[in-house]
Structure 1
């Protein structure tokens, strides 16, 4: 079994690269089947978030696996290569543990990534690409994440993306109690943002979503209005704060639409946070006067606040992770010995059956049972010792001492002084 992980994240690739290799939820299972079906890959799971796209797999040919990511997204491999990290075996294990524990996130200790990893496992299960190795890896990953969070203060004082967006809005508007807030999308990230903004009691909250049912469920909790995405061109100008995070593969808010909204607002400023990957807002919108546009990568400075109070927990978390990496690698190495152990046992079973059949025939002929037992034991002994004895007798000089030491270890022998 060859465990291998590869991908890009917010530390290795800018947003305009990350959005090119993201996987929308509706494409995930098809992508997994394509990956396993066309490459020398036995198992696979894909983690795709606003900050990372990475693939965990069981493959003997990692180089062919990494090429698939570029091929699937119609990119040249050389375009992606500078941003890729490639993690074999224990490096992949440690990376998975660190990601789940919030140590590899833009927001140190943030808990959302754990749910995203669990979603990746569900997609792999439904696609039929989650085998024994990855199942064991992710079960251990979730266990480690729970241990880190319960044994350390890694999540204390964590500033989430949602909290950072709220703080930015307050820096621009001061008290946002008079502002009108528009949320585009109704997923987990928008729900988190809605809870933070609603706590500031804005003048009005509106939720826009492709399907009204999900938008209405969110709106009901925060006494908000709902609109459809088709109503955005007319409704955008009525809002001072816009937070968007959808799974759309194309921008929802173009420069022209926002420009018209600014004119209708008579150049009153509008604050926009785009938490989607790929982006929901065309990057050119940032060029407009009176528009304050922030992407996920723009929230770094605010997110770093409170970091010092959590750094002491990082060393504890890393120690927990290192210990569990060692335990997992012991399990993995033991699994890699299974074919050899099975072959050894199969050979011993063939010897046993052969000698047993021979003894039964002798018994059937009425021969002395005592002599048959003696012959049976001698036959088994000779068969078991023939190959190691042959190897010792035919060993060349440079390997003889190593072979003798190995046989002494295997059979618990002691060399004569």
Structure 2
């Protein structure tokens, strides 16, 4: 902690105005400060070494990061020990606990809700639940191979095996998501180890790539320039009211966005994984020298090669692989986008954690099928509010979240599965029309 000019050991007292100017925006050499529990930390150099990623912590520069800090970290006392070297002061006594622009009562209620969740044990995982989920994935994987081994490589068993393998990829995707969010074990290291196995060996993708993108998404969902899920879209899609109009006013026409609700069915769900992710993940690990992740990925491809090549030959193996990626891609895109694309998409307005997550996410009604099909991401609101919560507890906290939304007049959206899918298309159509109107008339 910095000393006062007179040489005393009193903490340096700071105002929100001073903190809000230290965003580092536009210049990597500028100072970056943030607040956690009224303590002020200088992350100007540390952000580059942040284990969760440089961009995740930088997204909160100049802001209060108390709630995301609480949401993302399991062993907070350990993390606080490392944070001591970054401490430069604290908020002056006359400064409010929260940024002046934020709703004090809402923030206090959410932190009380968080304390209730912890007391109820809703952050404690059922290891049996996740073990059984892993077993069902492995059984489906074995069944896919046995189908071709026993029935041969004719069309019907070939397609059935591809469907099983596509299901394995989708379900392994939801399971790696659990480990990536530290939702299965109380020890972060154990979560990281098993995460590499599930995403690397069962899916052939790098854990570091998922961490890099997904934590940013959770930190600032649906925020341009901060959520990579939104940033990757403008070349092909104009999302939300703000960006659509902005692209139109600037006369940007990378694509005919007024038709995006149509070509989404061609370059969206069917193509994302096989035509983009499949090559980009290798580029990512090589560029960033993530050799451990690359080794895990190669075990997946070697296993597929050794087990299916003798049964199908080279052409059959390539056909099976492309088909399972096609199935996985459709499954992944529809499920992950149904909760976000129809919601508010804008630049970061520095709203509080609760409001930001509710504005950017919606739910899909609970059912046994919806829970399994989406990996419990039909409870997207609860997942975003409590990202380390094991998914089998989302339904337990949902009534508490609904009650808090009702108290503060915040819209809690939940809809049928097919309606959620349709809303993706409707929202693309609406934003495409906004783009066209701005492009032609502004």
- Common fold, TM-score beyond 0.5? no
TM range (shorter): under 0.3
Please report the TM-score for the alignment, with normalisation by the length of structure 1.
Answer: 0.23
Structure 1 or 2, whichever has the larger Rg, is 1
Please report the TM-score for the alignment, with normalisation by the length of structure 2.
Answer: 0.22
Specify which structure has the higher proportion of strand. Answer: 1
